[in-house]
Amino acid sequence: MRAGISAWCAAADVPISVVAEGANVSVALHGPGRVADVVVMDLLLQNGRPAYDELQELVAQERKVVVYTMRDSQDAALTCMDLGSATYITKAEGQRHLVKAIRAAAEDIPYTPPSLAGAFGSDTRQSRPVLSVREVEVLVEWFQSESKAVVAQSLGISERTVNTYLDRVRIKYANAGRPATTKAKLVARAVQDGLIALDEL
What DSSP state is assigned to residue 135? H
Taken in order 194, 77, 25, 15, the sign of the CA dihedral is negative
Average pLDDT, the chain: 87
- The percent of residues above 90 in pLDDT, for the chain, comes to 37
Helix 133-143 with 148-155: angle, nearest 10 deg? 130
Predicted TM-score of the model (pTM): 0.66
pLDDT in tens, 165-184: 898 898 888 878 888 888 88
Whether 82 shows a pLDDT value over 90: the answer reads no
Strand ordering across the sheet containing 64-69: 38-41, 64-69, 87-90
CB 161 within 8 A of CB 152: yes
Q: What pLDDT shows up at residue 123? A: 62
pLDDT in tens, 92-112: 998 889 999 999 899 888 788
Q: What pLDDT shows up at residue 128? A: 76
What is the set of domains in the chain, with CATH numbers? 1-122 (3.40.50.2300), 133-193 (no CATH)
Q: What pLDDT shows up at residue 124? A: 61
Q: What pLDDT shows up at residue 102? A: 95
Q: What pLDDT shows up at residue 33? A: 93
Residues 6 or more apart whose Cβ sits within 8 Å of residue 144 = 200, 201
CB 50 within 8 A of CB 71: yes
Q: For residue 45, with 0-12 CB atoms within 10 Å meaning exposed, 13-18 middle and 19 or more buried, which class applies?
A: middle
Whether 117 shows a pLDDT value over 80: the answer reads no
Q: What pLDDT shows up at residue 125? A: 61
Q: What pLDDT shows up at residue 11? A: 93
Whether 67 shows a pLDDT value over 80: the answer reads yes
Q: What CA–CA distance (Å, rounded) separates 54 from 131?
A: 31
| Count of CB atoms situated within 10 Å of the CB of 171 | 12
Whether 138 shows a pLDDT value over 80: the answer reads yes
CB 58 within 8 A of CB 34: no
Q: What pLDDT shows up at residue 120? A: 67
